[in-house]
Amino acid sequence: MSGPVAGLVGRVLGEMSAANEYSVFITDEQRKRILQGIFDNYYGSEFDQEVIFDTNRTWCSRMPLINSLFPESRVIACVRDVPWIVDSIEKLVRGNTFSPSSIFQYQPGNNVYSRADGIANGEGMLGFAYNALKEAFYGEHANKLLLVTYETLVTNPQRVLDAVYAFTGEAKHAHDFDNVVYDSGAFDSRAGTPGLHAIRPKVHAAQRQTILPPDVFHRFANDAFWRDPKLNPHGVKIV
């Protein structure tokens, strides 16, 4: 689930750009302080921690900005075979027959093909995140990126957490993979997509058949670029 900070940063950046006639009075150093202030004020006394995990798909497209504001920052990107992302969204939408989703601007007249097109285009929920990930993966700050695959997460969660702790330099803690608790019911309902962020209490791999037409499934079958070592010139760590 995405938090609000990335959106605030993007909006304020736009307001400080040349699109605003008063931008001539704002220096880059002032812009930097203002953006840092967003983080400082959002994560105030309520989040009095040394390390913060802020979740948003936008960060992969803002690696230079993050590096400038927080040189010690790291980005963890969760990835999954693309056809199964499309399948998972389609399964969720079909399960909410009476509740049009914000994913598709609450439009009820879609079909599986238009929904796949909608999320996969450059501005869609999937397409934007996918392109942002490639920007980070092949960019100059790729050494600050860790990819966590869905397949490893559900079959060997301890291996994933070990990699996350090593990547962040944080001390390890014990985790109960049979009792994972998270509730996002209110957010999901407001988005018109109940169950969007629902999770099972036990971490495990659940096997099932795809509900996508074969041509839709195969359309995305070769999009997992991170699986090919020859396509990883910066040696991004993948677990």
Rounded mean pLDDT for each run of 10 residues along the chain, 239 residues in total: 93 93 93 95 85 94 96 96 95 85 81 94 94 98 97 96 96 93 83 83 92 97 96 97
Instruction: Show the tokens assigned to 73.
Output: 């920052």
Strand partners, 145: 75
* Contact yes or no for 163/146 (Cβ under 8 A): yes
Q: Do 112 and 12 reside in the same domain of the chain?
A: no
Q: Do 76 and 173 reside in the same domain of the chain?
A: yes
Q: Do 163 and 109 reside in the same domain of the chain?
A: yes
Which domain range does residue 14 map to? 1-55
What is the predicted pLDDT for the residue at 197? Answer: 86
Q: Do 47 and 101 reside in the same domain of the chain?
A: no
What is the predicted pLDDT for the residue at 190? Answer: 79
How far is residue 80's CA from residue 231's CA, in Å, rounded to a whole number?
A: 17
What is the predicted pLDDT for the residue at 175? Answer: 94
**What is residue 44's three-state secondary structure?**
coil
Q: Do 49 and 65 reside in the same domain of the chain?
A: no
Q: Do 108 and 66 reside in the same domain of the chain?
A: yes
Q: Do 46 and 63 reside in the same domain of the chain?
A: no
What is the predicted pLDDT for the residue at 46? Answer: 80
What is the predicted pLDDT for the residue at 96? Answer: 83
Q: Do 179 and 82 reside in the same domain of the chain?
A: yes
What is the predicted pLDDT for the residue at 233? Answer: 97
Q: Do 25 and 125 reside in the same domain of the chain?
A: no
pTM assigned to the model:
0.90
Q: Do 45 and 149 reside in the same domain of the chain?
A: no
